[in-house]
Amino acid sequence: MASRKTELKKRKSRRTSSRKASSKTPKQKKLTAGEWFERLVALQARLRAPNGCPWDREQTHATLRTYLIEEAYEVLDAMKSGDDAKFANEMGDLLLQVVFHSQIATEEGRFTVADVIREVHEKMVRRHPHVFGEKRAKDAAEVLRNWEQIKAQERAGAQERQEHGEAEKKEQRKSLLDGVPRGLPATMEGLQLTRKASRAGFDWDNAAGVFEKLREEFAELLRASDEKDAAKMEEEMGDLLFAGVNLARFLQVDPEIALKNANAKFARRFREMERRSAENGQAFGDVARAEKEKLWEAAKRVERQAAKIEAVGKR
């Protein structure tokens, strides 16, 4: 059997081919978004049926976790590409993950995709009283403050319902940081934690304070490194990274996306180094360190030159 990722890619290709073929059908009835959604839900149910796809039938919430994250990142890549067809395609793949998880839950009698849609619809109405109610918000900042207050009220209500009849649990402390999923990637978790703290009034006055904190954490990491204290180095490295995430939030930069872009830039330059090394008839691993540095600088120059040409072309 093909790997899970291979199977997903094959199915993605089939869906694309199917869309191209169907677009050529003369006088085809134009379906509404709701009708297409119902077809997608029915299709996933069919794939999970006893006589459906063996791969789809094997999947669980746990096995699909990686694909949910991957599809979200592929949407971001497509968004950045400027290719609307690719953007729409990847958004569809992300939507499929929602439908897939909902189908598994439906089979287990827990909730349906209709419950998912109803929950988010009611939540959006509830959290926009300045649009659907009597409350008013003068700017986006006030909207966010109201949003956090409403979320806190919702959590309190959910906690009370959960703890009904369990008086001993009602002593548990509530926090403004409640609601940040622990399963998030570390940079995204740090971003949400510091964002919530900022909305509660716990924040730096300006970016200078965060830059100083970065320098402080860097110095502490250096000391831990000099002392060869492994536990302390891990702690100080975490503090340094957390300060970096906090600075990214302060500068209104998404740290996860920024790091993904940095990863991609490093990969491009490294592959250019390998290409140049191969042109010189050498395996990259056999190239001397000093020569590797020269290849790196050459790769950077190529990238900068390409960026300049692209900028001129956009004028």
For residues 111-134, average pLDDT: 90
Q: What pLDDT, on a 0 to 100 scale, did the predictor assign at position 2? A: 47
pLDDT value, residue 220: 96
Contact 214, 244 (CB under 8 A): yes
DSSP codes joined into one string, 179-199: T--TTS-HHHHHHHHHHHHHH
pLDDT at residue 150, rounded to an integer: 77
Average pLDDT over residues 92-99: 97
- The residue assigned the tokens 């995709």 is 113
Residue count (the chain): 315
φ, ψ of residue 19 in degrees (nearest 5): -65, -40
- Residue 230's identity, in one-letter code, is A
3-state secondary structure of 237: helix
Q: Which residue has the higher pLDDT, 148 or 198?
A: 198
pTM: 0.56
CB count within 10 Å of CB 150 equals: 16
Evaluate if residue 198 carries a pLDDT over 50. yes
Percent of the chain with pLDDT over 70: 85
Question: 230-250 and 186-199 helices cross at what angle (nearest 10)?
Answer: 60
Please report the pLDDT score of residue 1 as a whole number.
41
- Model confidence at 64: pLDDT above 80: yes
Above 50 in pLDDT, residue 242? Answer: yes
Average pLDDT over residues 230-250: 94
